[in-house]
Structure 1
Amino acid sequence: MLVPYLNAMSQPKTDFESDCYVDAAPYLYQDKGKTFAVVKRSYRNVDLRKQVIGLTIIDTSNLMPLDKRYTWPMWDSIESIHNGAVLIKKGECSYGLASIDKFPTCNLVRNAFLIKQDDYEGNIYLIYSSSKAIDMKQIDFTNKLAKIK
C-alpha cells in the first residue's frame, strides 16, 4: 500500500514528475544510537513515461530526510539489513549503504554474505562474501562510491 509523501519529507517537484508516494511500512534500522527509516519513493516520470523508484533515508526523531536533494533512483529491491547497513539490489549488483555521522554513502558490494561494522574503526565496514574470514574485504563508508579493495 502506498501513501502520499509527507510534506515534511517532500522534495521540490519538477514538471517531469507526478506526485510522490512512499511505502506505508518502511524498513527501520539503528546506527550510532539513532533510528532511521529506509523508505521507497515512487513517482511517474512524465517525460520518460515510466515509473521511477528511489530510496530515501529518514531520521525518525524528526521525520526529515537526511538530505532533501538525494535519493537512490530506480533500485530493484531492498535485500536485507545487517547491523545498521542496508543491502539493496539493482540488476546483477548489490549495494550497501550505512549512515555514518552525517549522511549515508553508497558503496559497491557484490554478493555480500554479511556486512558488519569494524569493532575498532567506526567508519569501516567489513564485507564478507562467504562465511570464511579470508573472504572479508573492507569498505570505508566515509568515501562516497568507493569500490571494495
Structure 2
Amino acid sequence: LALVGLLIILALMVVAALAGVLAPYSATVGDLKNARLLAPSAEHWFGTDDLGRDIYSRIVYGSRWTLYVVILVAIIAAPIGLLVGTVAGYAGGWTDAIPMRITDIFLAFPKLVLALAFVAALGPGIENAVLAIAITSWPPYERIA
C-alpha cells in the first residue's frame, strides 16, 4: 500500500510539473460565447464550467495548489504534534494529561467540520485554509509521539 501511495504522489508531482504541457486550454480564461457548460467530449474531456473554462485543464493546474497545501500542512502540523507529544510523553503527569485531553477534544470532532469552523473564524484565503487544516492535523502526530 505504501508503494501505491508513493506512485500516486509521484504521479501528482509529474502532473503538477507538466501542467503547462498536459493542459490543452487555459485554466483561467473561458469562452462564454461558445464553450459554456459543454458536456464531456473529445475536445473537452471533462466538459466546461459555467464560465466556459475547461474543467480538465483546471484540475491539472489545480494539482499545483494541492501539492502546495499538502506540503505546507505537513511542514506545520508534524513538528507541532511531535513537539507536543514528545514533551508530554517525556514529562508525564499533568504535562502529559493536559495536552492529551486537548488532543481528545480535537479528535472528538470530524476533522473536516473542525477545519471548516477554523476557516470561517480565520477568513477566506489559501493561507488561512492551510492554517486551519494544520490546526486539525497535528493530534495524530502527537498520539504517535
The TM-score, its normalising length taken from structure 2, stands at 0.25
Higher helix share: 2
Higher strand share: 1
